[in-house]
Amino acid sequence: MTQLQGLTPEMYKAIVAVVDDRMKSIRVTRREYDRLVAAQARTEAALDRLAEAQARTEARLDALAEAQARTEARLDALAEAQARTEARVNELAEAQARTEARVNELAEAQRRTEEALKALAEAQARTEARVKELAEAQARTEAEFQKYREASEARFARIEAALDRLAEAQAQTEAQLRDLVQVVKKMQDTLAAVKGRQLEFNYHYRAGAYFGPLLRRLRAFLPVELESELETRLSAEDFRDLLSLDLVVTGQPRHLPDAPQVWLAVEVSSVVDRHDVERAIHRAGLLRRAGLRAIPVVAGEDITVGAQRDAEAHRVVVLQDGQALFWEAALADVLG
């Protein structure tokens, strides 16, 4: 290599040495730079993989959030269903409480009736004893009258006076007997009323047994239980009259599966008479006025001849001894 002008060999060597060192340093720095570039590339690739993993994680979290939302929605629906179930159970408990109260009232009325009957029997026994004593006294008087009739006019007069007193006592006894007859009649009326209430309870409590052959999916109500449906559709007077109806039963005709729902306006009585038939017709008319397909029904243990004739003429159903009379005619009438 040509030596530069003005430089000594020593200076030239020193410069060459410095240049060689710098070149070595530059080569080292380049290798470090290449290693850093490669490391950076690896770091960026790792970051890319981490980003992809993060994206997959976020997607799984989104799916998990949607599943959680669906779970919460199902839990909300289940809570609402549970609330409805609890409300229905409470309604059934209240209905059971009302039923038990009515049964207790009926039992108390029955107890009072039995006590009254016992008192009546005791009064009857006392009356019979007094009548017996009176008959014995009269027999003794007659015997004494026969024995002493001819003794004297004065004695005869005393006997006649005794007979007058006896006749007065007899009149009083007859008056007491008439009063007793009135008491017995009142007791019979009371017993009939109690029996009627018992029948009303039976027809309500065992509605399925009585009306099941006629209707399916039936339900039985007291009129007051339909207050929210009926009160706004009727005048105040008609609604008060309808509350006196003994029982309302609804369902679909059992042998006509395509027929619409019908309503039975039921009047219950121990012995059904014409007045019961008239009330059933009138109150079924009130239900029809309220927009219901209503059929008049009378139910009881017995029915008068006149009531049965009226029921047949006016298509009123008669329930007696487990049988239903005039059902087809009444159903055809309401279904048109």
Alpha-carbon distance of 164 to 284, in angstroms, equals 63
Q: Quick one: pLDDT at residue 150?
A: 77
pTM here?
0.47
**Between vectors from CA 275 to CA 269 and to CA 279, what angle results, nearest 5°?**
85
Q: Quick one: pLDDT at residue 52?
A: 86
Residue 287 has pLDDT above 80, yes or no: yes
User: Which residue did the predictor score with more confidence, 48 or 318?
Assistant: 318
Q: Quick one: pLDDT at residue 290?
A: 94
Whole-number Cα distances in Å, 102 to 63, 300, 309 = 59, 20, 34
Which amino acid belongs to residue 70? Answer: R
Confidence of residue 47 (pLDDT cuts 50, 70, 90): confident
Residue 284 has pLDDT above 90, yes or no: yes
Residue 260 · residue 300 · CB < 8 Å: no
Residue whose structure tokens are 């005794």: 162
Handedness of CA 56, 57, 58, 61 (dihedral sign): positive
User: Which residue did the predictor score with more confidence, 246 or 178?
Assistant: 246
Q: What is the pLDDT of residues 166-204, one digit of tens each?
A: 777 777 767 776 766 565 456 544 555 565 577 878 898
User: Which residue did the predictor score with more confidence, 17 or 248?
Assistant: 248
Residue whose structure tokens are 């959030």: 65
* Average pLDDT of the residues in 91-111: 73
Residue 29 has pLDDT above 90, yes or no: no
DSSP at 34: H
Q: Quick one: pLDDT at residue 177?
A: 65
User: Which residue did the predictor score with more confidence, 285 or 147?
Assistant: 285
Confidence of residue 241 (pLDDT cuts 50, 70, 90): very high
Q: Quick one: pLDDT at residue 5?
A: 60
